[in-house]
Structure 1
Amino acid sequence: MRRFFKRKEKQTTETKSRKMKVRTVGTRKKTVTLLWILLIGSLAFGIYKNFTAIDQHTVHEREIIETKIMDMNAIESFTKNFVKDYYTWQNEKDSIEQRVEKISHYLTEELQALNTDTVRDDIPTSSNVGNIDIWSVSPENDNTYAVVYSVDQKIMEDKNSEMVRSTYRILLHQDNVGNLVIIQSPTLWSLPNKSDYEPQQPESNGTVDSDTVQEVTEFLETFFTFYPTATEQELDYYVKNNALPPIGKDYLFSGLVKPVFQTIENQIKVWVTVKYIDEATKATQYSQYILTLEKDTNWMIVE
């Protein structure tokens, strides 16, 4: 009887032990699943916020660019008006006093005082302003811009006169409502010089055979002969996608200059200079084109 009782007790103990293990495993699965859900949800939310931030940032940049374009127009107009008043005077007291009054509408009080005697009462010359060129408008820092300009002056003294061209740089400040004031007196500057840049010239690479070169050359000679006077309807026989606009002027075709041919994705790309004689001025005119042609029934300029 004792042995039977002990075996039964042992079986009961083992059964309870197995139930405990099953319950523990179930709890871990639920926890892991919950963690995965939280992780995926956090990742999705992060991606959403990232795209939203990019969109908002892009819109903000576009708004700033549009504002700057408007400001450049105002700065250029303000500068040209200032230049005209600053460099115009007659060797008469009334004219010089009027000039001082006019430039006060552009300069800070400090600069007004500095520029009072730039044109003296006893100055022997008079000045008229001709052409004004704005070469650059560039931001220096917040709401401050540097402007480089040139001015042509006709300087008269007694019965003599001469043309003078000078270049200067000024600084302007623009407040939050768009008003402008010059904060640096016209300072001697230099004109932009010619750049040494030379674009890489295309070369024929042997991808167009000689027969095709001859066909395309004849097509281009025919087209450019009548192109200057062609109507929009006539261009439809030679041009697709409005690749070239109608000109409507009288030019005499004189030839193609060094055309370059390349095959690109079943199309022919041509770099060509077209020589014309202007019937009105009798001068030679060189027009340069980069054209893309393709052939269906006939050759067509598609780009």
Structure 2
Amino acid sequence: MKIKIERKEKPDKPKKQKKIPTIKVGTHKKLTISLWVLLIGSMSFGIYKNFTAIDMHTVHEKEIIEKQVVDTNSIESFTESFVKEYFSWQQAQDLQDKRNERLKNYLTENLQQLNTEMIRSDIPTSSIVTSFQVWSVKQHNDIEYDVLFSVGQQITEGESKKNLTSTYSITVYVDEVRNMVVIKNPTIDGKPQKASYEPVLSDSDGTVDATATEEINSFLDTFFKLYPTATEKELSYYVSNQALDVINKDYVFVELVNPVYTQVDNQVTVIVTVKYLDKETKVTQFSQFELALQKNENWKIIR
């Protein structure tokens, strides 16, 4: 007897489907918050900087040097006293010795030694100072001053006398309490000479018509006749702003010489030479004026 065994086939297992990858949104909350905080912070900082920004620009510093007015009167007086001693001498030995002693009040010890040979014991001349003039005092540094001066001398030799004028420079040291000493011996120098400059003469430019010119001429004639002897009250009728001072001179008015008139707006500028006779010295005196005139009711000098 045959036994038949039937095998049942196992049904096929269903195939597993592949999972599709997905991105989860909103799960990293801490990172997202951090990014938002960073973004908001950056924007806030930018806005803050925009409103509080400091303009950067280059600052150019200008150094202003104020000229200090130095009183040189004491230096000039010191120099004059020294020059009168230095350029004066006598032939007698005792007088020369006294001169050398007096020079110690002005010269350094080194210069005293140098100048002992200036006047020989047998010198045939004597000298007196007749004039003195300072041309310039230049501040060499904070404590030294260069002085340029001219000195006039009368030189006597026997019965002969002659006058000389020479120009020298010295250097004077001034300490903190204004004590002074000569530190450079009188050294021959040149005095200022006449400049070759010649100013351009002005001419009337036609801005003042003939009628106004006649009025101004009449006004100036009247004023300059009065001016030499005018009191302050009398001047006030012709002059404003104290443009001219009282002079109290015994002058006789002669004429206006070459008046030049120029008008700008309501003011007339006058350049004029006034010819006077000086009754005290008997010379003819030419005074030159540049004035500004203005007419309200009458003409008046305002500057």
Could you say whether these structures have the same fold, taking a TM-score greater than 0.5 normalized by the shorter chain as the test? Answer: yes
In structure 2, give the amino acid aligned to 1:260: V
User: Deviation per CA, 1:26-47, whole angstroms, max 9, x where unpaired?
Assistant: 543335524763625x87xx98
The 2-side partners of 1:180 and 1:39 are apart by 56
Following superposition, the deviation at residue 133 of structure 1 comes to 0.7
| Alignment partner of 1:28 out of 43, 59, 67 | 43
The 2-side partners of 1:180 and 1:35 are apart by 66
Secondary structure (helix, strand or coil) at the match of 1:39 reads coil
User: Deviation per CA, 1:48-78, whole angstroms, max 9, x where unpaired?
Assistant: x96xx97xx66xx46xx14xx23x2222111
Match of 2:200 in 1: 200
Matches within 5 A, 1:1-303: 10=25, 20-21=35-36, 24-34=39-49, 37=52, 39=54, 61=66, 65-66=68-69, 69-70=70-71, 72-303=72-303
Q: Which moved more, 1:154-163 or 1:72-81?
A: 154-163
CA distance 1:36–1:177, change in 2 (3 Å) = farther
| CA RMSD of superposed structures (Å) | 2.9
The 2-side partners of 1:98 and 1:239 are apart by 59
The 1-side partners of 2:96 and 2:219 are apart by 67
Secondary structure (helix, strand or coil) at the match of 1:131 reads strand
Following superposition, the deviation at residue 283 of structure 1 comes to 0.9
The 2-side partners of 1:35 and 1:172 are apart by 64
Secondary structure (helix, strand or coil) at the match of 1:197 reads coil
The 2-side partners of 1:225 and 1:182 are apart by 53
Larger radius of gyration: 2
Following superposition, the deviation at residue 243 of structure 1 comes to 0.9
Secondary structure (helix, strand or coil) at the match of 1:182 reads strand
The 2-side partners of 1:178 and 1:226 are apart by 49
The 1-side partners of 2:73 and 2:250 are apart by 36
Match of 1:3 in 2: none
The 1-side partners of 2:76 and 2:47 are apart by 67
Task: Judge conservation of contact 2:169–2:187 (CA < 8 Å) in 1.
Answer: yes
Following superposition, the deviation at residue 223 of structure 1 comes to 1.0
The 2-side partners of 1:189 and 1:251 are apart by 41
User: Deviation per CA, 1:229-281, whole angstroms, max 9, x where unpaired?
Assistant: 11111111111111111222221110100011111122111101111111222
Matched positions, count: 281
CA distance 1:110–1:243, change in 2 (3 Å) = same
In structure 2, give the amino acid aligned to 1:236: S
In structure 1, give the amino acid aligned to 2:198: E
The 2-side partners of 1:272 and 1:18 are apart by 93
The 1-side partners of 2:227 and 2:175 are apart by 52
CA distance 1:177–1:38, change in 2 (3 Å) = farther
Task: Judge conservation of contact 2:266–2:295 (CA < 8 Å) in 1.
Answer: no
The 1-side partners of 2:28 and 2:205 are apart by 91
The 1-side partners of 2:212 and 2:249 are apart by 31
Following superposition, the deviation at residue 292 of structure 1 comes to 0.7
CA distance 1:106–1:36, change in 2 (3 Å) = farther
User: Deviation per CA, 1:189-228, whole angstroms, max 9, x where unpaired?
Assistant: 1221101122232221111111111111111111111111
In structure 2, give the amino acid aligned to 1:240: S
So what's the TM-score if we normalise by structure 1?
A: 0.82
Secondary structure (helix, strand or coil) at the match of 1:173 reads strand
The 2-side partners of 1:103 and 1:112 are apart by 7
In structure 1, give the amino acid aligned to 2:44: K
Following superposition, the deviation at residue 94 of structure 1 comes to 0.8
So what's the TM-score if we normalise by structure 2?
A: 0.82
User: Deviation per CA, 1:110-135, whole angstroms, max 9, x where unpaired?
Assistant: 21111102111111222111211111
User: Deviation per CA, 1:70-112, whole angstroms, max 9, x where unpaired?
Assistant: 3x22221111111011112221111000111111221122211
